[in-house]
Amino acid sequence: MGSLDLPDQPDGPRRAEHAGEGGADRIVPKSCDMPDPDERGRVYEAMRAHTSAETPEEASPGQRPDNGEQRCYWDEVPRFRQMWEDHERRWPERQRAADTDHPADLPGTYCSKGGFKLDPERHTETVEAIGRIRKAEPSISADMQAVEKENTCGGWLAGFDRRIKGDDRLKEKVAEELKAEQLNAEPRKTATQALCEIPDAIRFTSCFEPENYTRGYYDIRERLESRGYEMYESRNSWDKEQYKGINTRWINQYGQRFEVQFHTPESFHAKEDITHRAYERIRNPMITDRERKELREFQREVSQAISIPDGAMDIPDFKKEGF
């Protein structure tokens, strides 16, 4: 599951969860045919091969098709790639100030690319906490792989080899959280507490074909709950402009949090292969407001081409009190 941080989504209200969690008003998933096990996981590789074999005749890069012309997401991929190349030519990436040395910092200080810092004590604490996450991951991953095999809707784990955030990204998120806490005059957290609250240090992606997506969401959810995991938040972004998918957040009996995203082949490819670099640039404090506006517009255009599975927008948002 390669999961990634999401850009802020200010547009659109969040849906409320059905009152009876697990009650009579809950949508009950229906069974659907399970594909040949050897075919699972090949869909993502097949779509990558499809896009790498595209020719200029399949789409005119940089040109939006006429409104009356029906085009699928895959037809638009060459144009999106050309749009990104054009953007990079117009906006050469700026080097962040934090990329340079800081001779005044104490030995052992961590400096992130975003300009956030951890003093030596908090840096050491963060490294130790990351080690504990690494120890918690294997059992969660084993359960996710078991659920992948058991699900009745043909779902597969996409980007499984990228299920753990890198050390530098985790350190950066801790430093960012502690800096925000300081600016907001909130009660002082330890680095361990800040890291424990990061929901996607471990993250997975369950991918389904569109016709199985909605049933697949409930299938995976029920199977994880039956194994003792608790879902404390579910965010449905199928009605959002810059990102399509559902992100759910879970916790195990020992307090380790992790994320499970739900995607179709189109929405996963868009996130991983088309808009990821745009999102990374949006996070860069060195870019101008004008470029940031263009990046958000690029994300909107890509997301607009993604087909929305039947019933996906009806899956309610949910957040457990206290999280």
* CATH number listed for the domain at residues 37-51+103-319: 3.30.460.10
Q: Place 150 in a pLDDT band, splitting at 50, 70 and 90.
A: very high
Q: Where are the domains of the chain?
A: 37-51+103-319
Q: Place 116 in a pLDDT band, splitting at 50, 70 and 90.
A: confident
pLDDT at 25 (0 to 100): 43
Look at residue 105 and tell me whether its pLDDT is greater than 70.
no
Alpha-carbon distance 255 to 313, whole Å?
A: 30
Q: What percent of the chain clears pLDDT 90, i.e. is strictly above it?
A: 59
141 against 61, higher pLDDT: 141
Look at residue 33 and tell me whether its pLDDT is greater than 50.
no
Q: In Å, how far are 29, 135, 152, 229, 258 from 24, measured between CA atoms?
A: 13, 39, 22, 22, 28
234 against 111, higher pLDDT: 234
Averaged over 264-283, what is the pLDDT?
Answer: 95
Look at residue 191 and tell me whether its pLDDT is greater than 90.
no
DSSP type of residue 236: E
In the structure encoding, which two tokens stand for residue 180, read together? 């925000």
Strand partners, 251: 230, 257
CB 277 within 8 A of CB 299: no
Averaged over 179-190, what is the pLDDT?
Answer: 71
Averaged over 212-223, what is the pLDDT?
Answer: 98
pTM above 0.85, yes or no: no
pLDDT at 164 (0 to 100): 95
Q: Place 187 in a pLDDT band, splitting at 50, 70 and 90.
A: low
What mean pLDDT value characterizes the chain? Answer: 81
